[in-house]
Structure 1
Amino acid sequence: MNYLITGATGFIGRFVVEELLKQPQATVYAVVRTGSEHKLDKVKLQLGKSAERLHAISGDLTQPGLGISPEDAEPLKGQINHLFHVAAIYDLKADANAQQQANVEGTRHTLQAAHTLQVGCFHHVSSIAVAGQYPGQFTEDMFDQGTHFTNPYFLTKHLAEKCVRDEAKVPFRIYRPSMVVGHSQSGEMDKVDGPYYLFQLLEIIGRWLPKWTPIPGIEGGQFNIVPVDYVAQSMVYIAHQPNLDGQCFNLTDPQHYSLGELVNLIADTSDLPGFRWQLPNKILNKLPESTIPTLAQQKLVQKLLLSMDIAPEALSFITYQTTFDRRNAAQALAGSGITPPDLKQYMPALWQYWRQHLSPQTKASTAPQPEADKVLFRKPKLRPYLQRAQDHWKWNAKSLFQSRTALQERVDGKTILLTGASSGIGAQVAQQLAEAGATLLLVARSKDKLDTIADAIQRAGGKAFVYTGNLADGDDVDRLCQQVISNHGGVDILINNAGRSIRRSIKYSLDRFHDYERTMQLNYFGSVRMALNLLPGMMQRGDGHIINVSTVGIQANPARFSAYLGSKWALEGWSWVAANELAHTGVTVSTINYPLVRTPMIEPTKIYDYTPAMSPEKAVDWMLDIIITRNKRKVGPLGRAALASYYAFPKISESIVNLSYQVVREAPPQPREKPEQSTRKKSKQPVERQTTNSESGR
């Protein structure tokens, strides 16, 4: 199957090309202007091996017949099964003449090329803009009824579709996407337009006002939004269905959102202020029809909007009342499994990508500062402290009185990376977080165990993904984190739960410095490296939580754990400093000081049979509680008593620990075996193991 496409390097075009290359034995020819071949090379790089079937054809949208040379056209004549005309200017701020040339004349030139090449079917990507400001529902069978074209984009898209209807000499099909936003999974988008102006506006408001501020708003017009992956998949699927030539398909969502509903949906996702009360449309409709257009023409209003990088033409959508049906599209897609995803489900992905890649605030914070701007003192941000205080009391109260619903409210839709997830407390925590609606990224060395846990979560309707890696290897940590960022756009909560515990006296460690190196590599360097990789995304989103699992040993300082506690002291030192530095960014750093937990991992150490230990269920509750409250530390009565005793009576505390050290017998470690002795029976003394922090010997 051979395809020709215009606009292959554009945002929608890239995804259409990707879908076309999934077709059996597909070869795609992309019309590319001379000098712009590098753009197609970039698309090929993104597509990987399948791009071997993607070829450039030199052409120009502004030239008759697309300016395709006879030498290029002759081999393609009669060989192109489908021509997809995607190229157009999708920009409210674009010049009227430029839009006329690209959208109208460009369509006419593409139709000429379709006729010359004798293509099987011409697929025209139109837009719901062809309806103009039609007052009511605009069906797929309607066209001439389009009216009140308030800006050049609406008008040129209407005229472009008219060209297809009136001038096409080959079979054609027409697709009208509604407002196209980023990919429903990754959130990927190429520019700020349409609903993204609301992202920008709310972000600006959020710099000055807390979320709970009662902002007045309006019910406003109707918005219909679809992600780019749905649009591309739908067009390519419908293109291959028989007996649909001459039809038009509205690639829209059955659900329309009022301006007020959309603002509040974005606000709920982004934790920014929304409309706390809305002026109903029946009051707004009493204003003259010219009110909004006249307002948009005011120089002061235009200057204000442009200062926020918002197109003044976007004001026309404030009262946009046109709605759309999709009966033809729904019928053509029946049985394909292709349906518009719920905006509420993929809005977090859109917002996350916006914050990381498109937000002016993010760009400003990452841009290099001129020397003149590098001042000694800067005005601090004080509002985040008020928000932190409000959240602290709110979530601690919910943890006490609404613990079941509080967890779901806190983590639903969030992405959580959990290390040491292959067994024990890590596995149990993963199950409960998945049940509460979180997407779990399970990390450990054992893939088989992780797969078993992930399968159980998925069978129960949850979301879980497996990532294996050696957290004691810095390069492997970097690789794992970059893979996570690429696949999920980042992480909302990082739980550093994996750790290595070594129980051995210092007098038996004099020739074992590698014990200290190994505990530091995993417990300290591995955890910090995970955080440093994932922190940029959290800071850009203005929200994130890092949980470092530590031990009550930090307060009690038991003997024989110098290597283990040394690494945990280092991690806690980093955690305290990180918490102090990040307090104004929306990122919280918490520490859990677990006591000994009664799990199978401690059974080989017989002394623990006589030591009080926490139940695994209680340990899970501790973890869930700190996720809900985001408190700075979670420590039990034993830890608090040990710390108080140490500071009040340091010598007495030291003597007590020393007495217990002398009383408990410890066998010296076995000498290192020579290679020829490697098959001999080893000592049964359990002095070293790698496990989750919550199961480590304390």
Structure 2
Amino acid sequence: MLTKNLLITGVTGFVGSVLAATFLSRGISVVALSRRDPDGERTRSAVAAAAAGCDIALDGAMAGRLRTIDIGDGGLGRALEGLVIDDIDAVWHCAADMSHSGLRLTQAFEANVCETTALYRWAAAHAPRCRRFHYVSTAYTAGMQGGKTEERLHAGQRLSNAYQVTKWSAEQSLRTQLESCGLPVTLFRPSIVVGHSRTGWTRRNGFGFYMFVEAMEAVRAAGHRSFSYDLPEGVCIDLVAVDQVVGAAVDLTLSASARQDFEVFHCIGGRRMSSRAMLEAIADVLALQICFAAPQTPVDRRFARAVAANHPFALTDWDFCCAKLDAVLGRTARHPPLSPDQLQKLIRWYVNAETEMAG
């Protein structure tokens, strides 16, 4: 069956906007569920910005192929009551609460678990043509033990923040819901998503890798030129460019391969770079000196507090397997990991974007 129409959530966000722009450029229509966007202008602007940032030629595609549905500011389950969309071939659920804070666990659980479950039930019951529900999760639902990590559900592992906990819980919920609803499920798990590998474009959200960039920007803005951060040698970090993530997602959606009713895929960039090398690259762009040692000064301690949410991830070495995704996509080779030059381009774009906004 050809894929002609998709429902995508999170289209005003990072991955969702690039995904929508890419599908539109491929001639596929998109229905975007958005909050607080009654005229659809915020959604269209986000897609246009993603297309421009990623050099995606839309050529007027939005006008005829992008529909927006405003779900207001309430719960997704209530907003979907009575809604029927009879021409949706598949769903990509990209929207998420990105908070790490345990203080926001209740809100994150509502957004990432309850609303995911509600959307899945709706698609199974009220989108009669829909043949698959794709959920954008994270590779780090595997827990904090690191090491070789297979493409499967994980249980009994330590999780470190609200985002991990609620993404893990949503995966478990979808596996359970499949038994009663029957709509096939794909868990799509990127590692740490960064900007476009060629242009450097991203959205300034301070999440993941960019938390370290913003913390170093703050060090520089405070007039400091050096600081210390305690990080061991030898730990590798897995950064994957948004164009690689979206490329795999599009290929997966359009694949004619035989598929399982429940599947788990890792989408990764590879382990070429150490956490130390990543931080040294950021420091170099910002003309800072970083020493890998225990914090000694107030600025050291402020930096450590600013990146505390991601400190456990910089300390842990994962080796994410992606053989199942490779097999479905028929890949014998993947994109090489980001090079140092590409990483510096990503950092410069982010830093320059901040300078332009400040000006």
State the TM-score, normalizing by the size of structure 1: 0.43
Note closer, same or farther for the CA distance 1:219–1:97 as it changes in structure 2 (3 Å cut): same
Instruction: Return closer, same or farther for 1:254/1:45 CA change in 2, 3 Å cut-off.
Output: closer
Q: Deviations over 1:31-57 (max 9, x none)?
A: 123545331131354455010200012
Partner of 1:244: 259
3-state secondary structure, aligned to 1:175: strand
Q: Residue 112 of structure 1: which of 107, 121, 124 is its match?
A: 121
Residue 220 of structure 1: how far off its partner (Å): 6.8
> CA offsets per residue over residues 406-437 of structure 1, 9 Å max, x none?
xxxxxxxxxxxxxxxxxxxxxxxxxxxxxxxx
- Partner SS for 2:189: strand
Quick one: distance in 2 between partners of 1:217 and 1:65?
Answer: 43
Cα pair distance change 1:165/1:319, threshold 3 Å: same
Shift of the alpha carbon at 1:204? 4.9
In the TM superposition, residue 324 of structure 1 has moved relative to its aligned partner by 1.1
Contact 1:32–1:58 (8 Å) recurs in 2 = yes
Counterpart for residue 262 of structure 1 = 278
Tell me which residue corresponds to 1:132.
143
- Please give the alpha-carbon distance, in whole angstroms, between the structure 1 residues aligned to 2:73 and 2:267: 25
Pair 1:144 & 2:154 matched: yes
Asked if the contact 1:61–1:110 (Cα under 8 Å) also holds between the matched residues in 2, the reply is: no
- What corresponds to 2:240 in structure 1? 226
- Indicate how the Cα distance of structure 1 residues 357 and 66 shifts in structure 2: closer, same or farther if over 3 A, else same: farther
Deviations 1:293-333 (A, max 9, x none): xx9xxxx9998359x8x253223224223331221223334
The equivalent residue for 1:123 is 134
Separation of aligned partners in 1, 2:281 and 2:352: 19
Instruction: Tell me whether 1:326 sits opposite 2:347 in the alignment.
Output: no
Give 1:61 deviation, angstroms: 8.7
Aligned pair in 2 of structure 1 residues 54, 214: CA closer, same or farther (>3 Å)?
closer
Secondary structure of the structure 2 residue equivalent to 1:351:
helix
Shift in Å at residue 269 of structure 1? Answer: 4.8
Percent identical among aligned pairs is 23
Match for residue 89 of structure 2?
81
1:264-283: CA deviation from partner (whole Å, max 9, x where unpaired):
233445543244xx57xxxx
Distance in 1, Cα, partners of 2:70 & 2:206: 29
Q: CA deviation at 1:185?
A: 2.1
Q: Any runs of at least 4 consecutive aligned residues in structure 1 with deviations exceeding 6 A, and if so which?
A: 213-216, 300-303
Asked whether the equivalents of residues 236 and 274 of structure 2 are also in contact (C-alpha less than 8 Å), the reply is yes
DSSP 3-state at the match of 2:289: coil
Q: Are the aligned partners of 1:221 and 1:317 in contact in 2 as well (CA < 8 Å)?
A: no
User: How many Å apart are 1:354 and its aligned residue?
Assistant: 1.5
1:688 is aligned to none
Give the match for residue 75 of structure 2.
Answer: 63
Summarize the alignment of residues 488-527 of structure 1 with structure 2, pairs less than 5 Å apart.
Answer: none
* Aligned equivalents of 1:66, 1:14: Cα separation in 2: 24
Aligned residues: 333
Are the counterparts in 2 of residues 203 and 272 from structure 1 also a CA contact under 8 Å?
Answer: no
Q: SS state of the match for residue 342, structure 1?
A: coil
**Pair 1:209 & 2:225 matched:** yes
Partners of 1:144 and 1:215 lie apart in 2 by 32
The whole-number CA distance in structure 1 between the counterparts of 2:332 and 2:78 is: 34
Structure 2 CA distance for partners of 1:227 and 1:146, relative to 1, 3 Å: farther
Change over 3 Å in CA distance of 1:332–1:363 after alignment to 2 = same
Q: Tell me the secondary structure at the aligned position of residue 124 of structure 1.
A: strand
Q: 1:274 to 1:6 in 2, by over 3 A?
A: same
Native 8 Å contact 2:215 2:307 kept in 1: no
CA distance in 1, matches of 2:311, 2:244: 27
Question: What is residue 32 of structure 1 aligned with on the other side?
Answer: 34
Q: Is contact 2:77-2:115 (8 Å) kept? A: no
Question: What CA distance in whole angstroms lies between the structure 1 residues aligned with 2:230 and 2:149?
Answer: 31
Change (3 A) 1:302 1:201: closer
The two structures have a TM-score, normalised by structure 2, of 0.81
Task: Please provide the CA RMSD for this pair.
Answer: 3.3
Gaps of 5+ in 1: 285-294, 367-698
**Cα distance between partner residues in 2 of 1:222 and 1:323:** 9
> Is the partner of 1:247 in helix, strand or coil?
strand
Cα 1:220–1:254 change in 2 (3 A) is closer
Using the alignment, how far apart are the partners of 1:195 and 1:340 within structure 2?
Answer: 19
Conserved 8 A contact 1:130-1:155: yes
Whether the 8 Å CA contact 1:233–1:338 is kept in 2: the answer is no
Are the counterparts in 2 of residues 215 and 274 from structure 1 also a CA contact under 8 Å? yes
Q: Unaligned 5+ residue runs, structure 2?
A: 52-57
CA–CA distance in structure 1, aligned partners of residues 104 and 343 of structure 2: 31
Retained in 1: the 8 A contact 2:241–2:269?
Answer: no
Distance 1:99 1:44 in 2: 25
Structure with the larger RCO, 1 or 2 (CA within 8 Å, 6+ apart) = 2
Structure 2 counterparts to residues 241-640 of structure 1, below 5 A: 241=255, 242-245=257-260, 246-255=262-271, 257-275=273-291, 304-305=302-303, 310-334=306-330, 339=335, 341-358=337-354, 366=359
- For residues 61 and 243 of structure 1, the distance between their equivalents in structure 2, rounded to whole angstroms, comes to 39
2:271 aligns to what SS in structure 1? coil
